[in-house]
Structure 1
Amino acid sequence: MTSTATPDMMTDIPEEDGLRADLYDFLSVMLAAPPDGGLLKRAAALKGDQSELGSAIQSLGRVAAATTPQAAEREFNALFIGLGRGELLPYASFYLTGFLNEKPLAVLRGDMARLRISRAPNVFEPEDNIASLMEMMAGLIRGRFNGPQDLTTQKDFWSRHIGPWAAHFFTDLEGAKNSVLYASVGAAGRVFMEIEREAFRMTVD
């Protein structure tokens, strides 16, 4: 979507960071396109603990198990595509300014260039799409772009491009009238963003 990574660019990272990256990657693929049968099967196998995030993930697994690819595609289209536009516009520029392709996108492109992140040639969505930002965050953690980035770099990117609006978006997704499967995606994303905000506050000056 946005990565120019190759597998040999990635190195080992702590287990907890791997789990964070896995969830960012999962949110990215769920929000980039309608999930096919294989992705729904993976989602249905998700298990969680008794924490708020674990409960949200367990709920997502249950809903995914009852969702067909056809139903997921209809839901995705109603939410994000629609006739002219979907119920939600999942872009930082829209959430932060009310318009598409505004200053938040320009700032993101500058940071992408600095971090050696480039948009794949077959992707035409603006880079400030929520799916792309989730993928970028996973890439920063895993080292897909220029080696694993430290927590300060992760926090800076998150605070500039994700933190100001992603929780709002996930809350809207959770409550959207067309959301069934994606209500659970929204709940998991919302709780995860809250956890990330608190973790960055506590661990990085």
Structure 2
Amino acid sequence: MPDSAEIPSVPQEDFLRAQLYGLLGALLARPPQKSLITQVRGLRGDDTALGQGVGALAKVAGTVDERSVEREFNRLFIGLGRGELLPYASYYMTGFLHEKPLALLRQDMARLQIERAPNVYEPEDNIASLCEMMAGLIEGRFGNPAPVSTQREFFNRHIAAWAPPFFTDLEGAEGSFFYASVGAIGRAFMEIEKEAFRLAGADPA
């Protein structure tokens, strides 16, 4: 994987998309540390559904600390045996873990030269990893920035069918407070991405 200094530059719109995918990935991979919570407090939204979610997340970030968010993360995703939510494509699409969606993802990861990080033990089809993969494809962390057609194919094959209901579940989960706003952002962003890729469907790029 190339060093960040070697990642090719991308258009501003794509850079912002990658940043949002990266933020979702960071918040969903593990309990955020104090530095990330502080960063989230400084975010600013607008009047769009996505912007309102960003503003709400920044506001709630000002009312929590690292320990309280860690407890919430554990309730939602770990729990005693399992958390309130199972954030995996296989589970949402088949009702079971380690099923065909994971196998298909691994095939595409190999084709796109995306390697699993050595310190990651979760199945690759978890939402955090998929968000990080999308950010990497957009920014060119696995080679050159992926063309729209490749981004669209990856999104439609591995994210589009299940991430929107997952983020809706996260937004409304009993244990969600900080993560309710993360769910709102993810839900709105997935809607934007789905529509953008639909409109770009005839784009040969």
TM-score range, shorter chain: over 0.9
Equivalent of 1:124 in 121, 124, 132: 121
Task: Name the CA distance, whole Å, in 2 between partners of 1:118 and 1:88.
Answer: 26
Stretch of structure 1 that moved more, 20-29 or 35-44: 35-44
Q: Give the AA of the match of 1:172.
A: D
Q: Deviations over 1:3-30 (max 9, x none)?
A: x342254101000000000000000000
Q: Deviations over 1:182-201 (max 9, x none)?
A: 00000000000000000011
Is structure 2 residue 39 aligned with structure 1 residue 42?
A: yes
- 5+ unaligned residues in a row in structure 2: which ranges? none
Q: Work out whether residues 141 and 154 of structure 1, in 8 Å CA contact, stay in contact via their aligned partners in 2.
A: yes
Q: Give the AA of the match of 1:94.
A: Y
Which residue of structure 2 lines up, in the alignment, with residue 179 of structure 1?
Answer: 176
Identity %: 59
SS of equivalent residue, structure 1 residue 147: coil
Deviation at 1:204, TM superposition (A): 2.6
Equivalent of 1:188 in 185, 192, 197: 185
Task: Name the CA distance, whole Å, in 2 between partners of 1:86 and 1:75.
Answer: 10
Q: Give the AA of the match of 1:10.
A: I
Q: Work out whether residues 151 and 204 of structure 1, in 8 Å CA contact, stay in contact via their aligned partners in 2.
A: no
What's the TM-score, normalizing by structure 1? Answer: 0.97
Task: Name the CA distance, whole Å, in 2 between partners of 1:48 and 1:69.
Answer: 23
Equivalent of 2:11 in 14, 20, 25: 14
Runs of 4+ in 1 over 3 A off after TM superposition: none
Deviation at 1:36, TM superposition (A): 1.1
Aligned length: 202
Task: Name the CA distance, whole Å, in 2 between partners of 1:7 and 1:187.
Answer: 29
- 5+ unaligned residues in a row in structure 1: which ranges? none
Task: Name the CA distance, whole Å, in 1 between partners of 2:133 and 2:113.
Answer: 11
Stretch of structure 1 that moved more, 104-113 or 43-52: 43-52
Is structure 2 residue 138 aligned with structure 1 residue 149?
A: no
Task: Name the CA distance, whole Å, in 2 between partners of 1:52 and 1:88.
Answer: 24
Which residue of structure 1 lines up, in the alignment, with residue 59 of structure 2?
Answer: 62
Equivalent of 1:98 in 73, 95, 99: 95
SS of equivalent residue, structure 1 residue 95: helix
Q: Work out whether residues 163 and 193 of structure 1, in 8 Å CA contact, stay in contact via their aligned partners in 2.
A: yes
Q: Give the AA of the match of 1:97.
A: T
